[in-house]
Amino acid sequence: MAFYMTVDEIIDSKDWFLNAATVGHILHVAPQSLRTVCRENPQMVQFPFCYVGTHLMIPRIPFLKWIGVEDIKRKDTDNGKDHET
């Protein structure tokens, strides 16, 4: 059983990067299709991404901004304070 994060959970997350399964769920595309497009036609993808080996990594905050989320608070892992980005 796969676990998918909602947009609200992504906003509240401390993770720096999202995986293909989470982003695919938000965009309503299969994770493997997302991986394929990013690898074979990167010019078609309008949000930043990178590959680490074979793992597709999507930066959380730029992705949230791309889907139109305006008010993003980054959780500071060192002292628990919220920061506007």
**So where are the chain's domains?**
15-71
Q: How far apart are CA 59 and CA 49, in angstroms?
A: 7
The whole-model pTM stands at 0.80
Token pair for residue 15?
């993770």
- Check residue 74 and give its pLDDT: 59
- Check residue 40 and give its pLDDT: 96
The string of pLDDT tens digits covering residues 7-51 is 999 999 999 999 999 999 999 999 999 999 999 999 999 999 999
Q: Which fold would CATH assign to domain 15-71?
A: Molybdopterin biosynthesis moea protein, domain 2 (3.90.105)
The string of pLDDT tens digits covering residues 55-78 is 999 999 999 999 999 887 655 554
Alpha carbon of residue 1 to chain centroid? 20
Q: How far apart are CA 21 and CA 62, in angstroms?
A: 17
- Check residue 1 and give its pLDDT: 47
